[in-house]
Structures are given as C-alpha cells and as structure tokens.
C-alpha cells in the first residue's frame, strides 16, 4: 500500500484527527442533551471525574492539532506556487482547481470557508471543555451556562462538519500528494 | 463570621459557584470568533492588509488571521476572567452578546456573504 508523505499526513489530519473530533463532539452533544432528562444528576466517582476531564482535554488537544496542522503544514502544500512553465498542476492543488471554471468553486467556496471556520470549532470546544470542567456539578442551577454549552457544541459540530466535508471533496478533486513515497504495508508474494 | 457565611457572601447564587468565570469564557469565545471573521474579511478586501498578516510565508495571510484572532481571544478571556472571577454577572445579556458575535463571525467566514459585503 504505497502512498506519499503529504498524502499520509493529510489523511491523519482529516480522517484520524478530524474524524475523531467530529465523533467526539457529536458524543458530547448527545450525552449533554441526555442529561437534561435525568431525574437524578449523574454523580461520578473521583476516578470517573478524572477520566472525564482527561477525555475533555484530549478532545480539545485534538481539535488544535487538526487546525494547526491544517493551516501550517497541509495548507502550504495546497497553495504551493508551481515553477514557471509547469503544465502538470497535479502537485499544486490550488492552481489546479483554479485552472478551470468547473473546479474553481471548490477553492473559492470550499477552501476559503474551511480555512477559517475550522478554527471556530477549536475555540468552541475549548470553551465547552472549560465550562463542563468547572460547572459540571452545578449545571442545573446555571441554565444560561447550560445554554452556552449547547450553543458552542453545536458551533463546534457545524464548523468541523463544514471543514470535514469540504476537506474530503477538495482532496478528492485535487489530492494533496508529493514528497517521499512510503509503503504502509508491503504485498506478500 | 463562619466559613459558610464567608462562602455565601462571595458566592451569592444558590449553587455556591459564581457565574463570572463562565461569562468571561463565553463572551471571549464569541469575541474571538467575531474577530476571526473580521480579520478574514479585511484580508480579503485589502491586499496591503493581507500582506501585513503574513506571519508565516508558506501559509500566507491565513497565518496572521488565525494567530491574531487566537491571541486576541485568549487576551480577552484573561482580562474578562480577572474582572469577573468570583462574581455573579448578568449572564443572560452576556450570552446574547456572545451568541450575536459568534453568529456574525460565522457569517463572515462564509465566502458568498463576504463577497456580497464587498459588492462582488
């Protein structure tokens, strides 16, 4: 299973970290809504609280890894400028997309939106983690904080979804590739 | 004064935990998202401003837009937290303002809306 370094890093960014983040945010939203209908508040053991806090920190850390790797590692590969006279634009995704009116929309809408909105997912999830850590036990007495948690979870999910969907479509139409070839798994003869 | 009386004086709401810290985090996040949208729009409008925001050449103006937004978000959070920590504030109004800033910030990142503001 051969791929290139750039392609592999892009897969890690989008499918592993981004995909995990989307699922985690959905899970938080579902669980948070479910607790609204509990007759008795959920009381975790000390160990349970530590695990929950560690998981929150992990999800927040993943969100920042996704956006930082996207903007500062993968985006430079995407927007690389081809040398003069280059006819094969396959290693220059942005130029490739912009070279035709049938594909330029993927950049003008997809990348132009994704590159900014994704950061709102990271900001939102950081706030959610902070509020859930500090106010978890007293959330029922603070309905406004509860509303804010729901709004920011929804924002994180929406933002990450936009970034994820357009990321997939952009990589489908103009794959990030290049760098050293690597073998993920060798075929047995 | 007993420990309980001191606690109730410091945290006057029923839960015993003031909402000031939460309000600071919420408003700062809304503001951070808004600033991100504003800087994105400004970089799109003005090539000169976009060049000012090139903190890391391979990433281009996006590097400055994101670094500046995150810095301003964190700074706002720090300032508000210092002001409101341990206090009970008007969180309904703060939520409303934060959500308005968040919504407008989200809208500003949407390219067709950005273009419509510029008359494109």
Closest-CA distance of chain B to residue A126, Å: 9
Give the integer Cα–Cα distance in Å for A27 and A33.
Answer: 10
Residue B15 near chain A (CB below 8 Å): yes
CB contact burial B96-115 (16+ within 10 A = b; e otherwise): eebbebbbebbebbbbebbe
Give the pLDDT band of residue A185 (cuts 50, 70, 90). confident
Residue pLDDT, tens place only, B72-114 = 999 999 999 999 999 999 999 999 999 999 999 999 999 999 9
Helix A143-173, helix A112-135: angle, nearest 10: 150
Tokens representing residue A151 in the block: 């709004």
Give the integer Cα–Cα distance in Å for B102 and A123.
Answer: 11
pTM above 0.95, yes or no: no
If you average pLDDT over residues A9-37, what whole number do you get?
Answer: 92
Q: Look-up: residue for tokens 């406004």?
A: A144
DSSP for residue A4: E
Closest-CA distance of chain A to residue B26, Å: 7
Predicted confidence at residue B9, as pLDDT, reads: 45
If you average pLDDT over residues A94-119, what whole number do you get?
Answer: 95
All residues at 6 or more sequence positions from A93 whose CB lies less than 8 Å from its CB, including other chains: A77, A78, A170, A174, A175, A176
Taking an 8 Å cut-off on Cβ atoms, the answer to whether A115 and B62 are in contact is yes
Give the integer Cα–Cα distance in Å for A74 and A68.
Answer: 9
Taking an 8 Å cut-off on Cβ atoms, the answer to whether A123 and B99 are in contact is no
Of B15, B29, B59, the CB nearest to A76: B59
pLDDT at B7 over 50: no
**Hey, how many other C-beta atoms are within 10 angstroms of the C-beta on B34?**
24
Give the pLDDT band of residue B17 (cuts 50, 70, 90). confident
Taking an 8 Å cut-off on Cβ atoms, the answer to whether A113 and B21 are in contact is no
Taking an 8 Å cut-off on Cβ atoms, the answer to whether A144 and B36 are in contact is no
């Amino acid at each position: 299973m051969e791929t290139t370094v750039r392609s592999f890093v892009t897969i890690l960014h989008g499918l592993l970290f981004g995909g995990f983040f989307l699922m985690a945010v959905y899970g938080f939203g579902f669980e948070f809504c479910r607790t609204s209908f509990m007759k008795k508040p959920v009381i975790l053991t000390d160990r349970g609280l530590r695990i929950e806090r560690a998981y929150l920190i992990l999800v927040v850390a993943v969100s920042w890894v996704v956006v930082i790797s996207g903007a500062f590692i993968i985006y430079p590969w995407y927007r690389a400028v081809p040398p003069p006279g280059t006819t094969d634009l396959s290693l220059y995704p942005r130029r490739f997309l912009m070279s035709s009116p049938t594909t330029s929309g993927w950049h003008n809408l997809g990348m132009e939106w994704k590159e900014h909105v994704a950061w709102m997912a990271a900001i939102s999830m950081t706030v959610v983690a902070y509020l859930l850590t500090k106010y978890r036990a007293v959330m029922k007495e603070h309905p406004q904080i509860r509303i804010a948690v729901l709004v920011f979870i929804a924002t994180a999910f929406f933002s990450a979804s936009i970034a994820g969907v357009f990321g997939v479509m952009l990589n489908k139409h103009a794959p990030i590739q290049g760098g050293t070839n690597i073998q993920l798994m060798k075929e047995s003869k | 004064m007993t420990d309980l009386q001191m606690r109730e004086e410091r945290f006057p709401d029923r839960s015993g935990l003031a909402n000031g810290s939460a309000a600071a985090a919420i408003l700062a996040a809304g503001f951070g998202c808004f600033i991100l949208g504003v800087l994105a729009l400004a970089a799109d409008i003005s090539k000169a401003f976009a060049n000012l925001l090139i903190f890391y050449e391979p990433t281009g103006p996006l590097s400055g837009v994101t670094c500046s937004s995150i810095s301003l978000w964190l700074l706002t959070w720090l300032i508000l937290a210092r002001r409101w920590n341990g206090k009970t504030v008007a969180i309904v109004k703060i939520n409303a303002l934060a959500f308005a800033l968040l919504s407008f910030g989200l809208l500003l990142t949407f390219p067709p809306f950005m273009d419509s503001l510029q008359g494109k």
